Amino acid sequence: MALHILFVLFSHVLLTQVVEGNTDDFDCVDIYKQPAFQHPLLKHHKIQEIFYPDENLDRKGQYKTNYQSCPKGKVPILKQRNGTKSVHLDTVEYPGQHFATIETVLDGSIYRGAEANISLHSLTLQNNQFSKSQIWLENGPRNELNSIQVGWGVHPRLYGDTRTRFTMYWTADGYKNSGCYNIQCPGFVIVTRIPWIGIAFPRTSIYGDKKSFTFTPQVFQDGISGNWGLKIFNEVIGYWPKELFTHLNDGASLIRFGGNTFMSPDGISPPMGNGHFPVIDFQKSSFFLHVKVRNSNYQLLDIEDRKTRLYSDSFQCYRLSYWGYAKSNGVSFSFGGLGGDCGT
């Protein structure tokens, strides 16, 4: 069974209903025949209920949908068009990567989750480039790194197009043998009947426009099962079972927020964020608002200035401006840049 998705979208600032004709195709598969259960550690795994903490504190998402969801007992799998599973590694050490991020300092603190309100933007990229805005949750030494990454990406080699899509990634061994984008390998367990993973966002922010389009990914460790849940658009869509990880089972030792790019073979890096250097005016900048982490007691808190460091590895191409806390936006920062010849 294939699904065709039709979106109805509400903007971040001004409530605006838009019907968008672009579609993505999904197959509905039996929930116990989804890719996750091909993982050798999940052969006998039973679907587990994941509880999002502080449900009464949850903020409304910006998206509502007019869709055909999968029938009960089935889950949606995005039908790849012209993308490939053979994609470059998503690691700081891999040549061609660039970052503009804020991250927690490694002081022994343990985190049980992270979330932020991320602005959405359309970008023009070459085939081998990517540009992402996302959240990382990590633990473990470099060669055993456990990492969960969630946000949006423009990734022609992965998706076969240059649309801005909901994108996630995971690894359990420092990118050596485990992990992948979305559900291209066994691991992530889908529990929603609504197609979200890999979906293209139908509306993105326009430079200088009053309407800023955003979404809020929420990653959290379930206090009962130890699994890592993912919530977007006010719904838990699935989880990474604890069996996949060796270090994230104990919580995350580092949380990172911001942008990440990869250059083309000719050495040219793509735009990051909205393709402009950051400014205080959110109508002209890509941004993260309400940047929060969950502490070791599962409490959702604003990230602390004293526990945060800023990182940008190519100032001529990408920059980040940290704005700190304000009542209206929580902890926020702006970031981005045009890209170009940014070095390796």
Per-residue model confidence as pLDDT tens digits over 159-181: 999 999 999 999 999 999 999 99
The amino acid occupying position 272 is M
Confidence of residue 55 (pLDDT cuts 50, 70, 90): low
Six token digits for residue 25: 């195709």
Contact 14/211 with Cβ under 8 angstroms?
yes
Report the run of H or E that residue 192 belongs to, with start and end.
none
Distance (Å, whole) CA 326 – CA 333: 11
Amino acid at 12: H
Mean per-residue pLDDT of the chain: 88
Does residue 52 carry a pLDDT above 60?
yes
> Distance between the two ends of the chain, CA-based, in angstroms?
44
**Which residue carries 């019907």 as its tokens?**
19
Lowest mean pLDDT among 1-10, 205-214, 304-313: 1-10
| Spatial strand order in the sheet of 18-20 | 18-20, 6-9, 63-66
Q: Give Cα separations from 304 to 54, 173, 295, 307 (angstroms).
A: 20, 29, 11, 5
Torsion of CA 103, 98, 286, 152, to 10 degrees: -90
* 16 has a pLDDT exceeding 60: no
Statement: residue 8 has pLDDT above 70? no
Q: What is the 3-state secondary structure (H, E, C) of 247-299?
A: CHHHCECEEEEEEEEECCCCCCECCECCCCCCCCCHHHCEEEEEEEEECCCCC
CATH 2.60.120 assigned to 26-55+67-84+95-341 = yes
Predicted confidence at residue 89, as pLDDT, reads 54
Answer for the pair 291, 118: CB distance below 8 angstroms, yes or no. Answer: no
CB 307 within 8 A of CB 266: no
